[in-house]
Chain A
């Protein structure tokens, strides 16, 4: 009897979590999509974002999001992969047991702290050494690159460790060095997991808001160099939602819907890629 009640209770809680997700999804689309129909796709994907004058073009923000995301991947992939390979193949058990939790702890640091470190250290550093305002694509990319490290490292690590040991022995027995085994055998064998880690990291980079607002400068234009200021879709929503009304507010929800679709697609790809392995 008690079991039955507990079971029903857990079922209810589980469904309310899923239910709230569905409600959020519904709400975002219900608020945003009508505006896109009203103004037309060509307005929505144009260059000019001037909501008070009826111009709702989000192209410069899409480009901004894209630039910082690609930048984050350029920073995050080499470091993340190197870290995962070192942990999985070269380090001792002791080092693994200490370092892996520490890296995963990085994921638990609030993004505002990353943003703060960016403002205090990174932005002035870029301003004095490379020029420009400091608040830039470069600063955002570096901060985001660090923020996506835990995702890339832990998923890549898991998939490297999951490669059967017999492969390693077989490779060594054919005279491969450790490095050759890693590059020619283990990375290809773990490729699907590594790709999934990168895609999930990418999803995190696109969706990140707070840290980016703090270091990106948020100027509404397409950046011409990595030292230029940039504004992303998420920053726009966070910065403007407080005072937006009417169509302006709806346009921000439309941005949210657009982001939602992008991130869902990335997640589906990540699930497909990993699922393919089994």
Chain B
């Protein structure tokens, strides 16, 4: 298959600064269509900053950036920002449910982008909740406050909310960090299922989670991309000794 066509996101020599502090150093990588790219590394490796660069969320932190990021070959700075953030969704470490009902959480993003008929809205919400494996649990309580859901349910609500926007890439920033093993398993299962349709970038502190779910894995250390390769290769025979050290838990 044509490699060029499979490429979803390409990052070239990306640098990101918070004031004087450089948190991403000369990072170049590619994300392929319909893969799960795992991103691992110790704290302050720049993993979250990478995600915030890809949908330009870093801008609200007054960070500066240099380098090129392309989505489907198009410079992300040429894409209207609402459009970019719709196409490249982001799920946070702690589930961010907005104040209001479950339904309001689901419809919030949709209503921002276009006028939408009630019936169509209901359908999209139901489909997205089904895709996020949450529908059965919430179908009778759509008009209850979203904050009454459990942590795992809230995180799946956030995934559903992002899915409802019909995104192309879904970035997850340690989506299971606060969740119990069963909720984590549910989210991983959801992800593997959705991989058929969407491209995933999964930042995780849990190396085993990357090993379980990711097709390829990137290892970051202090803002630098040390190594990116097939997950199997990274976890069995990494090229760089530092990757090996991290995976074996020798530092970080």
Report which A residues bind B (CB closer than 8 A). 166-177, 180, 184-185, 188-189
Contact = CB atoms under 8 A, between A and B. Distances in A.
Nearest to B86: A175
A240 B218 CA distance: 82
Contacts of B108: 171, 174, 176, 184-185
Contacts of A166: 92, 94, 96
Among A170, A171, A173, A188, chain B packs the most CB atoms within 10 A around the CB of A173
A276 to B, nearest CB: 13
Contacts of B89: 173-174
Smallest CB-CB A-B distances: 5 pairs: A174-B109, A170-B96, A175-B85, A175-B86, A175-B82
Among A169, A174, A185, residue most surrounded by chain B Cβ atoms (within 10 Å): A174
Interface string B68-103: 000000000000011111100110101011111000
Nearest to A181: B112
9 contacts: A169-B92, A169-B96, A174-B85, A174-B108, A175-B165, A176-B82, A177-B112, A185-B108, A188-B100
B60 interface: yes
Interface in B1-28: none
B113 interface: yes
Nearest to A173: B90
A167 B57 contact: no
Contacts of B92: 166, 169-170, 173
**B82, B92, B98, B158 — most chain A CB neighbours (10 Å):** B98
B133 interface: no
Given A173-B96, A175-B85, 13 more contacts: A166-B92, A168-B60, A170-B92, A170-B96, A172-B60, A173-B90, A174-B108, A174-B112, A175-B84, A175-B112, A177-B81, A184-B108, A184-B111
Given A170-B96, A173-B85, A184 B57 contact: no
B99 A174 contact: no
Given A166-B96, A167-B96, A169-B96, A174 B60 contact: no
Contacts of B199: none
B109 A176 contact: yes
Contacts of A172: 57, 60, 85
A171 B82 CA distance: 11
